[in-house]
Amino acid sequence: MANVQLQQVGKTYDGGVRAVETMDLSIADGEFLVLVGPSGCGKSTTLRMIAGLEEVTDGTISIDGRVVNDVHPSERDIAMVFQNYALYPHMTVAGNLSFGLERRRRHPSRLRGLFDAGYRSARREELRSIRERVEKAARMLGIEALLGRHPRELSGGQRQRVALGRALVRDPKAFLFDEPLSNLDAKLRVEMRTELRILHRQLGATMIYVTHDQEEAMTLGDRLVVMHDGIVQQVDTPDRVYREPANRFVASFVGTPTMNFFEGSVDSAARFQVAGLSLSLPAAHRSTPAGPCTIGVRPDALELVSDSENAIPCSIETIEFLGDRIDLILNSDVGRLVCRTAPRSGLAEGDAVLLRPTEAGVHLFEPGPDGARRSKS
């Protein structure tokens, strides 16, 4: 396996469209790194530059210490799994798994083997090695019984396993995944996420994964690279990205339901003023300077309370039942809010309720849609 380094890497397409702004990124040997962000943010372009499928406009990409900007994709010793599986329909599963290895054989000629016993022996050994690698990958992915079938005879999940197996048999320096689970149904996506994490643990392989699904990113990655408009917004562990988002975009993109935001201002008494309400800031934010500010609160950090002290009056618009929890969609003077809480009786649509942010659940950002996070004192 190998580390991957991106130094001052950027991508500009013909016509001056800047797809990826200057990026510095270090991916450790054996790390599972996830590039996540909305469509068009540059994450797939970044992955394709690492793979060699897109030219690098600026900077250098190194794999295991070797600069690969001008190295052909086939010689970078990486394996890529695509969204559309890209299986050969006329080949069996075994044929699809072995195809890349067959193409790289050093002893492909059958005619020479008619006259050269040593060549025949080397070729048999090579074929045996390919067969063993295919069988090993099939065992790891639980598709041994499918080796004789064609892609048309497989379910979506089985096809995805074959696509993974084709990458596994290569034993590359790094695995690249371009939204490989997006074509699967919700239940199967969850199952495949678990299998990918187990596979990563078994292989100890360097894996770089692209997705627009923030839940998928949070559950898979050792670290996340959150991107927006071609710019890296934050690189950190899933826990830190969720609990300490670098800016308002990251806070709104990571987390379901999305974070609630209140646009207002902080006064000299460390109270947040918004829509006629005056809310005390948590102790950790008491030193925040006076002036315009945005508060962010996760839905599960809003509590239903009975007293009006430091509370936001709301009316329940909709109640969404989710089994072990409910989401309350509420109207208030500060805008529409979402509160996630445990199921409780006595709540009905149209009811008036009071919400209070928890002390630990308040995030402060600079004003504006891309405001940076304000550090706690």
Provide DSSP, 307-353: S-TT-EEEEEEEEEE-SS-EEEEEEETT--EEEEE---TT--TT-EE
Residue 371 main-chain phi, psi, to 5 deg: -60, 135
The residue that leads in pLDDT, 156 or 250, is 250
**Predicted confidence (pLDDT) at residue 336 exceeds the cutoff of 90:** yes
- Given a contact cutoff of 8 angstroms between Cβ atoms, the answer to whether 335 and 259 are in contact is no
pLDDT at residue 7 in the model:
97
Asked if residue 113 has pLDDT above 60, the reply is no
Q: At which residue do the structure tokens 């894996």 appear? A: 207
With a cut of 90, say whether residue 310 has pLDDT above it: no
Task: Report the pLDDT value the prediction gives residue 342, as an integer from 0 to 100.
Answer: 93
Segments making up each domain of the chain, as ranges: 4-248, 257-365
Please give the pLDDT value at position 170.
84
Instruction: Compute φ and ψ for 147, nearest 5 degrees.
Output: -60, -30
Average per-residue pLDDT in the chain?
90
In sequence order, what are the beta bridge partners of 6? 25, 61
Share of the chain above pLDDT 90, in %: 61
pLDDT at residue 31 above 80?
A: yes
pLDDT in tens, 64-97: 999 999 999 989 999 999 888 789 999 999 999 9
Among 143, 146, 150, CA closest to 92: 150
**What's residue 20's pLDDT?**
97
**Roughly what angle, to the nearest 10 degrees, separates helices 93-103 and 156-168?**
20
Give the Å distances, CA to CA, from 368 to 292, 374, 376.
Answer: 9, 13, 19
Distance, in Å, from the CA atom of 255 to the CA atom of 241, rounded to the nearest integer, reads 10
Task: For residues 264 and 262, give the distance between their C-alpha atoms in angstroms, rounded to a whole number.
Answer: 6
Confidence (pLDDT) at 268: 85
The answer to whether residue 198 scores a pLDDT higher than 70 is yes
pLDDT at 100: 82
Per-residue pLDDT, averaged over 147-168, amounts to 90
- Asked whether residue 107 carries a pLDDT value surpassing 60, the answer given is no
> What per-residue confidence (pLDDT) applies to 109?
62
Q: Is the peptide bond before 367 cis (omega within 30 degrees of 0)?
A: no
Cα torsion 37, 40, 42, 46: sign: positive
Q: In this structure, what DSSP letter does residue 259 have?
A: P
The fourth-level CATH superfamily of domain 4-248 is P-loop containing nucleotide triphosphate hydrolases (3.40.50.300)
Which class does domain 257-365 fall in?
mainly beta
- CA–CA distance, 111 with 108 (Å, rounded to integer): 9
For 241-265, what is the mean pLDDT? 94
The one-character DSSP state at 247 is B
What pLDDT, on a 0 to 100 scale, did the predictor assign at position 120?
Answer: 74
